[in-house]
Amino acid sequence: MPNNQESISNRVDALIRPEIRGLSAYKVQAAENLIKLDTMENPYHWPQGMVEEWLTILQNVELNRYPSPEAEELKQQLRRVMGVQDHYQLVLGNGSDELIQIIAMAVAGTKRGILAVEPSFVMYRLIAQVLGIPYAGVDLTEDFELDLEALLSKIETENPAVVFLAQPNNPTGNLFGEEKVRRVIENCSGLVVLDEAYLAFTESDLLHLLDDYDNLVIMRTLSKVGLAGLRLGVLIAQQEWSEQFNKVRLPYNISVLSQVSAVFALQHYDVLSQQTDLLRKHRSDLFKALTQFEQLKVWPSEANFLLIRAKQQSAAELHSQLKEHGILVKLLDGVHPLLENCLRINVSSESENAALLSALGKLLPAK
């Protein structure tokens, strides 16, 4: 049997769907020896005593056994921390990404697709494309506000099966507001998914909307509060929705190590809360410091990152220069027209924020 590059390429072309061949894989920048400010992670470690207690617990984990398929102990801790009432159900995913995929697979199809505002979390569009589901995007305003009339008009014409709204929005960091969110839900015959990934960094909490609407589910995650390595997303929904999503969810999708570690971390949630409170303060300080650079436009944020625009040079150039100074941020120029010349910066520890500001001070002329 021939085993050459041309033969393999022909086989791939014949078997892989054309829309998949046309996609680019989601890439994560290499961060070795760099201060990592590109992926919205909590920079803080656990106290040493907490680490030692966790490691003791891990010694007794039975890796030869499958994990609990329903992760009931973990769900109870999540209910306690997130204030979820018993009449709502939790569906767990390997990060929010898997939950988005589960929702898309269960609800959308070739006739009714997915709709989201743009720019927003790239996985809404990417997962739709991978699954061969129609996707429609509705641009935000130039200041990244919700263009409600345009969105409602698009909902009417497209009649989507699923509408995703991130609150706060990524990568812009702003809130759309409860009144506008309600208008969207009320004007949509499909399912609305409210993505509250950055809940820990804002006073906005729209869980109560589940009491008012039967076409709403809410997504949350533990990644932003310091557990990104566990890859744990949470979907809060009425039982009728959760029953259907669980038919799509693969069995044992949350590993035993993730379950045990998350239960332990949630029992010590006060530590994580103290860290997120500190990051909120650092966000305010960093925002004020960045606004002192007249070469940058900085948007206020309700998340653990700040969006900036380079006004006097290309964002790609500034991104490269920061990298040369040991700082890795997220380059957004080219992702969407509204993000022209934009960078996204993770709010981090006091020392890492100081290193960023020091680098910018060397790169950007003072007033």
Residue 198: give its domain's CATH number: 3.40.640.10
Predicted pLDDT at 4: 75
Non-local CB neighbours of 230 within 8 Å, separated by 6+ positions: 222, 223, 258, 261, 262, 265
The number of folded domains in the chain is 2
Of the listed ranges 29-43, 310-324, 344-358, the one predicted with least confidence: 29-43
Residue 322 and residue 342: Cα distance in Å, rounded?
A: 14
- Looking at the fold, whether 33 and 78 belong to one and the same domain comes out as no
Asked if the structure places residue 106 within a domain, the reply is: yes
Taking alpha carbons only, the member of 262, 207, 235 closest to residue 99 is: 235
User: Which CATH number goes with the domain that contains 307?
Assistant: 3.90.1150.10
Higher pLDDT, 366 or 263: 263
- Looking at the fold, whether 155 and 225 belong to one and the same domain comes out as yes
Predicted pLDDT at 366: 66
- Looking at the fold, whether 218 and 293 belong to one and the same domain comes out as no
Asked if the structure places residue 303 within a domain, the reply is: yes
Asked if the structure places residue 178 within a domain, the reply is: yes
Mean pLDDT on 235-246: 97
- Looking at the fold, whether 159 and 230 belong to one and the same domain comes out as yes
Asked if the structure places residue 206 within a domain, the reply is: yes
Q: Name the percent of the chain lying above pLDDT 90.
A: 89
Residue 23 and residue 46: Cα distance in Å, rounded?
A: 39
Tell me the CA distances in angstroms from 236 to 195, 209, 357, one per residue in order. 10, 11, 39
- Looking at the fold, whether 204 and 342 belong to one and the same domain comes out as no
With H, G, I as helix, E, B as strand and everything else as coil, classify residue 342.
strand
- Looking at the fold, whether 140 and 199 belong to one and the same domain comes out as yes
Residue 345 and residue 40: Cα distance in Å, rounded?
A: 8
- Which band of pLDDT confidence, cut at 50, 70 and 90, is reported for residue 149? very high
φ, ψ of residue 195 to 5 degrees: the values are -95, 105
Question: Looking at the predicted structure, is the pLDDT value of residue 111 above 90?
Answer: no
Question: Looking at the predicted structure, is the pLDDT value of residue 342 above 80?
Answer: yes
The full DSSP string for 160-196 is: -SEEEEESS-TTT-----HHHHHHHHHT-SSEEEEE-
- Looking at the fold, whether 164 and 294 belong to one and the same domain comes out as no
Asked if the structure places residue 327 within a domain, the reply is: yes
Mean pLDDT on 149-168: 97
Per DSSP, the chain holds a count of helices (H) and strands (E) of 13, 13
Asked if the structure places residue 56 within a domain, the reply is: no
Predicted pLDDT at 272: 98
Full-model pTM: 0.94
Question: Looking at the predicted structure, is the pLDDT value of residue 318 above 80?
Answer: yes
Q: Indicate the residue among 238, 267, 296 that finishes a domain.
A: 267
- Looking at the fold, whether 169 and 301 belong to one and the same domain comes out as no
List pLDDT tens digits, range 45-86. Answer: 999 999 999 999 999 999 999 999 999 999 999 999 999 999
Parent domain of 346: 18-46+271-363
Predicted pLDDT at 255: 97
Predicted pLDDT at 367: 58
Structure tokens at 73: 């102990």
Predicted pLDDT at 12: 85
- Looking at the fold, whether 296 and 161 belong to one and the same domain comes out as no
- Please give the order of strands across the beta sheet that includes 162-166: 88-94, 232-238, 216-221, 191-195, 162-166, 114-118, 135-139
The terminus-to-terminus CA distance of the chain in angstroms comes to 68
- Looking at the fold, whether 145 and 238 belong to one and the same domain comes out as yes
- Looking at the fold, whether 91 and 33 belong to one and the same domain comes out as no
Mean pLDDT, the chain, rounded, equals: 95
Q: Indicate the residue among 241, 267, 293 that finishes a domain.
A: 267
Indicate the helix (H) or strand (E) that contains 269. helix 269-290
Higher pLDDT, 2 or 144: 144
- Which band of pLDDT confidence, cut at 50, 70 and 90, is reported for residue 11? confident
Asked if the structure places residue 42 within a domain, the reply is: yes
Asked if the structure places residue 263 within a domain, the reply is: yes
Question: Looking at the predicted structure, is the pLDDT value of residue 10 above 90?
Answer: no
Q: Indicate the residue among 220, 251, 267 that finishes a domain.
A: 267
- Looking at the fold, whether 153 and 31 belong to one and the same domain comes out as no
